[in-house]
């Protein structure tokens, strides 16, 4: 592309596109306008190459430009460009639902298609509420969630989200949903250490249910392994068994938010599988089509949906684009690629190499390296022993990410928001197809960028 044309596009982007969760001033200093992508590589309008170490935004699980997905979408668009699940369906919508049910934990088989993660969370909240309503429990209108979590930007999903900065402007939210402490072992909210802690963070759910009144609670929602807001916080193996028991004891539905962790991201098809526990509803998005087109879903246990069938009541919810044939075609092809090319297993193997290389890094400001599969976080601290954080305005994480970008690697440098502590983190989530030499490039650039910032800080 001509230099002048590239410049014109960047100017139009800065002037007219309202970027999400993004400081306009900071973005304007260094716009990133991607023109094409292949595998794990991005190419901007100036022709500069990058390794995408965040899969777009933890969406492009199979990598960019997969021919099987592209062909499936092309075939579909020539045949049927729209259908609705409100009063009809399409062959590919039915097939996508069946495909989804074939990979979700046994029993989760009723698929409510929407257009993205936030809509999927909204749907799950409403399924839970109407489920109880139909059983005569009309007062169960609140969902418990955790701090240090993200469940979406729409107001219902934001009410569950435990991210103070994203909530602050919109408080009071529509409904005041209770939150429990995060399972943040590196900075345990109880000052304890696993395994001697008795998992107080999981037991906190029962405490909150008792305080708030079980009769007002419909569901508990959690990301099985925390995504961007905690960068790979992974609860101990007993955590979800305790959560499941508590939910069962109080007839509260357990919603697993797998929008970010689903479709092989953490080394299992879904992250909750690592814990041997079944949720009542699973919400998915992002990797359901590897981001090729927007799609999300809430997948409910048969018993949950049966409450609606039994009473012959309509679930009072729905969207124009639910089950869109193009998105469903991408979903079917994407799942076929993940399964037939053994990408969950491949991603798991590659993740061991990524973790090994990261653990070899020697930097005073690396406090914690955590995560599972290809969902990894690096927490940065001023002092390793005391875990003292950097000042907010030092923006250590984003400075490192900016340096990495200049060297051709896209990572996120952001903040983990525990109550009262805003620590800097680096976040990595490359496609499951990432190659060893690309991991080497990612880690070498991260190493160099941390080193540069470290020298300037200490």
> Binding residues for ligand PLP, per CB under 6 A?
116-118, 121, 150-152, 223, 227, 257, 259-260, 285
| Sheet hosting strand 366-372, strand order edge to edge | 366-372, 375-380, 421-428, 412-418
The residue (of 125 and 381) whose beta carbon lies closer to ligand PLP is 125
Q: CB of 150: closest distance to ligand PLP in angstroms?
A: 5
The residue (of 152 and 182) whose beta carbon lies closer to ligand PLP is 152
The residue (of 58 and 449) whose beta carbon lies closer to ligand PLP is 58
The residue (of 224 and 347) whose beta carbon lies closer to ligand PLP is 224
Contact 266, 223 (CB under 8 A): no
Q: CB of 6: closest distance to ligand PLP in angstroms?
A: 28
The residue (of 231 and 405) whose beta carbon lies closer to ligand PLP is 231
Please tell me the distance from the alpha carbon of residue 204 to that of residue 40, in angstroms, as a whole number: 40
Give the residues across from 421 on adjacent strands: 418
The residue (of 317 and 435) whose beta carbon lies closer to ligand PLP is 317
The residue (of 118 and 449) whose beta carbon lies closer to ligand PLP is 118
Three-state secondary-structure class, residue 129:
helix
DSSP state of 388: B
Please tell me the distance from the alpha carbon of residue 41 to that of residue 268, in angstroms, as a whole number: 24
Q: CB of 257: closest distance to ligand PLP in angstroms?
A: 5
Residues whose CB is less than 8 angstroms from the CB of residue 435 and which lie 6 or more positions away in sequence, other chains included: 39, 40
Q: CB of 146: closest distance to ligand PLP in angstroms?
A: 11
Per-residue tokens: 171: 């408080």
End-to-end CA distance of the chain: 42
Q: CB of 437: closest distance to ligand PLP in angstroms?
A: 28
Please tell me the distance from the alpha carbon of residue 169 to that of residue 457, in angstroms, as a whole number: 32
Q: Which of 238, 57, 257, 43 is nearest to 143 (CA)?
A: 257
The residue (of 223 and 438) whose beta carbon lies closer to ligand PLP is 223
Q: Which of 185, 218, 221 is nearest to 201 (CA)?
A: 185
Q: CB of 262: closest distance to ligand PLP in angstroms?
A: 9
Residue number of the CB atom closest to ligand PLP: 117
Per-residue tokens: 314: 């309509």
Q: CB of 57: closest distance to ligand PLP in angstroms?
A: 6
Please tell me the distance from the alpha carbon of residue 93 to that of residue 456, in angstroms, as a whole number: 54
Q: Cα torsion for 43, 49, 53, 57, to the nearest 10°?
A: -20
Q: CB of 119: closest distance to ligand PLP in angstroms?
A: 7
Contact 439, 421 (CB under 8 A): no
Residues whose CB is less than 8 angstroms from the CB of residue 291 and which lie 6 or more positions away in sequence, other chains included: 55, 56, 57, 59, 60, 61
- Which residue is associated with the tokens 């949720």? 279
Contact 428, 376 (CB under 8 A): yes
Q: CB of 184: closest distance to ligand PLP in angstroms?
A: 16
The residue (of 395 and 429) whose beta carbon lies closer to ligand PLP is 429
Q: CB of 243: closest distance to ligand PLP in angstroms?
A: 16
The residue (of 121 and 442) whose beta carbon lies closer to ligand PLP is 121
Residue 303 burial class via C-beta count within 10 angstroms: exposed 0-12, middle 13-18, buried 19 and up: exposed
- Which residue is associated with the tokens 């297993």? 345
Please tell me the distance from the alpha carbon of residue 234 to that of residue 242, in angstroms, as a whole number: 15
């Amino acid at each position: 592309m001509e230099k002048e044309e590239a410049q014109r596009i960047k100017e139009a982007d800065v002037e007219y596109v309202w970027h999400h969760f993004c400081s306009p001033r900071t973005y304007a200093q260094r716009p990133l306008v991607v023109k094409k992508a292949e595998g794990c590589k991005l190419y901007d309008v100036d022709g500069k190459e990058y390794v995408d170490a965040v899969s777009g935004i933890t969406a492009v699980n199979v990598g960019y430009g997969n021919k099987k997905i592209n062909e499936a979408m092309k075939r579909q668009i020539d045949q049927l460009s729209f259908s609705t699940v409100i009063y009809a369906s399409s062959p590919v919508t039915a097939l996508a639902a069946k495909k989804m049910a074939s990979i979700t934990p046994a029993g989760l088989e009723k698929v409510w298609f929407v257009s993205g993660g936030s809509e999927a969370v909204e749907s799950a909240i409403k399924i839970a509420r109407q489920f109880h309503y139909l059983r005569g429990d009309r007062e169960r209108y609140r969902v418990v969630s955790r701090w240090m979590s993200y469940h979406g930007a729409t107001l219902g999903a934001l009410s569950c989200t435990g991210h103070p900065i994203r909530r602050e402007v919109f408080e009071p939210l529509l409904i005041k949903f209770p939150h429990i402490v995060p399972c943040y072992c590196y900075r345990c909210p109880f000052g304890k250490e696993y395994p001697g802690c008795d998992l107080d963070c999981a037991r906190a759910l029962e405490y909150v249910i008792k305080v708030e009144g079980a009769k007002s609670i419909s569901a508990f929602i959690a990301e099985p392994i925390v995504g961007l807001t905690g960068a790979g916080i992974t609860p101990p193996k007993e955590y979800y068994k305790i959560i499941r028991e508590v939910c069962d004891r109080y007839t509260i539905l357990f919603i697993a938010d797998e929008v970010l962790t689903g479709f092989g991201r953490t080394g299992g098809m879904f992250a909750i599988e690592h814990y041997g526990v079944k949720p009542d509803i699973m919400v998915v998005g992002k990797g359901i089509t590897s981001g090729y087109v927007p799609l999300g879903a809430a997948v409910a246990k048969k018993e949950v949906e049966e409450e609606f069938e039994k009473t012959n009541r309509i679930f009072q919810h729905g969207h124009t684009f639910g089950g869109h044939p193009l998105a469903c075609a991408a979903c079917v092809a994407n799942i076929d690629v993940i399964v037939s090319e053994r990408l969950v297993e491949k991603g798991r193997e590659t993740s061991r190499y990524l973790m090994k290389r990261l653990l070899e890094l020697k930097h005073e400001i690396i406090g914690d390296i955590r995560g599972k599969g290809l969902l990894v976080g690096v927490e940065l601290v001023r002092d390793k022993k005391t875990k003292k954080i950097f000042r907010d305005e030092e923006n250590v994480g984003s400075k490192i990410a900016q340096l990495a970008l200049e060297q051709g690697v896209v990572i996120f440098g952001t903040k983990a928001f525990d109550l009262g502590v805003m620590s800097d983190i680096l976040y990595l989530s490359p496609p499951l197809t990432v190659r060893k030499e690309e991991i080497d490039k990612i880690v070498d650039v991260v190493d160099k960028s941390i080193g540069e910032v470290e020298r300037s800080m200490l």
